Amino acid sequence: MTRFSWPKAINNLIFKCRKFRYQARDEHSEHALTLTYLCPNAKKASGGVKVIYRHVSLINNMQIAGVKAQIFHPKDVNFRCETPFSNLNFKKNFVFNKKHEVFVIHEMWAAREAKIARDKGIRYIIQVQGGYDVFRKADVDSVYAAYQHAELITCVSDDIYACLVFLFPEFEQKIYRLHLSVEEDLFKPAEHKENIITYMPRKLEKHSTLVLNFIARKLPSSWKIFPIQNMNQQGVAETLSKSKIFLSFSELEGLGLPPIEAALAGNLVIGYTGQAGKEYWVDGQFHEVNCGDIRAFSETILSKIKEIDNGYFDFIEIKQNITTLQNKYSPAKELDGLRGLVDQLRKG
């Protein structure tokens, strides 16, 4: 059965008037706690949207008594992202339970949605997946008010935590650290790797184009470059499993997962840390380049190709790094963090 959806222009108009639609009611609920995750509309879930869908799925799959998680697309309540996740619930109206429902607002919409939540008496927390997106389309005062009144502030990396403590030291006690995981059974090296260099064109396209042009005439004919785009997760994993080098063009990211996925798939990772990536940027497998240093980026690629071609590269060290990354970004850690978040909110 096809879901009905209003035309985009009408949905946008309705969205702009959303503050008149939000309501908080003090009424009975069959759930002691419902977490409602605010989510942007994206046809294919990636980045922050993927994390939102994943967290909702994980919380529901834990089957914690009296606890429910759901996704809320306020621009179109009938919208659904294409994801592989199971056990998803969706909120289809703007009515919130005053006592038993917590609005999980992502950092990019925090200032505007938190004000509506405060005015309506809706409980809320802020989910920060990017420490450098806190002030997106918002001024300092409105952002401060949003974080001041939040019950909790969650973050998913050491760098985000440090950013939040720098910005809001007075709120440090309510900053809660969550952990992300990577599917180690999906991202793993192929038995026979090929001389392939992979990268994601959607990340800093100007930089990636420059790097590829810089190395074009110097790249050995036995090597080829393969862009990762318009692929599902399985396709990305299969491509990374075959390649030997991944180029990272991360820019001020909360926690860029593609470099971790590439490393788990047995790639050398060359490029930008995006700042948050410093927590997993281990020597030997990861090679940092200062953002914008195109020549150094190109020289590093060619140098590592030469090492690989001459048999100087230590693949045993990579195997050790993979084990370290698997432990650091394990599903068990992610589940423990979400379970702890639920416990904290139930106390409220």
pLDDT number for residue 137: 84
Same domain, 286 and 204: yes
The domain spanning residue 16 has which CATH number? 3.40.50.2000
Q: Which pLDDT does position 282 carry in this prediction?
A: 86
**pLDDT at 9 (0 to 100):** 66
Whether residue 166 is found in the same domain as residue 233 = no
Phi and psi at 127, nearest 5°, equal -105, 110
Please answer whether residues 226 and 245 qualify as being in contact, where contact means their C-beta atoms are separated by less than 8 angstroms. no
pLDDT attached to residue 5: 55
Residues with Cβ within 8 Å of 254's Cβ and at least 6 positions away in sequence, in order, are: 48, 128, 129, 130, 131, 132, 133, 155, 156, 157, 159, 160, 276
Specify if 187 maps to a domain: no
190 is a domain residue: no
| pLDDT for the residue 276 | 92
Q: Which domain holds residue 317?
A: 196-328
The Cα–Cα gap between 98 and 121 comes to: 7
Q: Are residues 127 and 169 in the same domain?
A: yes
Q: Are residues 174 and 252 in the same domain?
A: no
Whole-angstrom Cα distance, residue 8 to residue 76? 9
pLDDT mean values, one per 10 residues, the chain (348 residues): 58 70 90 96 81 96 96 92 91 95 96 95 96 92 97 97 97 97 90 94 94 97 95 92 96 90 96 94 92 98 95 77 92 96 91
135 and 282 in a single domain? The answer is no
CA torsion, points 286, 288, 294, 296, in degrees to nearest 10? -90
Element (H, E) at 304: helix 294-309
- Residues 159 and 19 grouped into a single domain: yes
Closest by Cα among 55, 35, 104, 28 to 346: 35
Look up tokens 């109206």; give the residue.
93
Is residue 146, in this structure, part of any structural domain at all? Answer: yes
Q: Which two tokens stand for residue 199?
A: 């990268």
User: Which pair of tokens denotes residue 225?
Assistant: 């470059």
Helix, strand, or coil (residue 306): helix
Residues 175 and 81 in one domain: yes
Q: Please name the residue that has the structure tokens 């075959």.
A: 242
Same domain, 101 and 214: no
User: Cβ(289)–Cβ(265) under 8 Å?
Assistant: no
User: What pLDDT was estimated at residue 289?
Assistant: 97
Quote the number of domains for the chain.
2
b/e string for 191-203 if b means 16 or more Cβ within 10 A?
Answer: eebebbbbbbeeb
Does residue 24 fall inside a structural domain? yes
Give the containing element (helix H, strand E) for 249.
Answer: strand 245-253
Say yes or no: 169 and 31 in one domain: yes
Query: Cα dihedral angle (160, 162, 167, 169), rounded to 10 degrees?
Result: 130
pLDDT at 3: 54
Distance CA 234, CA 290 (A): 31
3-state helix, strand, coil in the chain (%, to 5): 45, 20, 40
Instruction: Compute φ and ψ for 104, nearest 5 degrees.
Output: -100, 105
- pLDDT value at residue 20: 82
* Residues 118 and 236 grouped into a single domain: no
C-alpha–C-alpha distance, residues 100 and 24, integer Å: 11
Tokens of 142: 């409105």
Element (H, E) at 125: strand 123-128
> Which pLDDT belongs to residue 347?
85
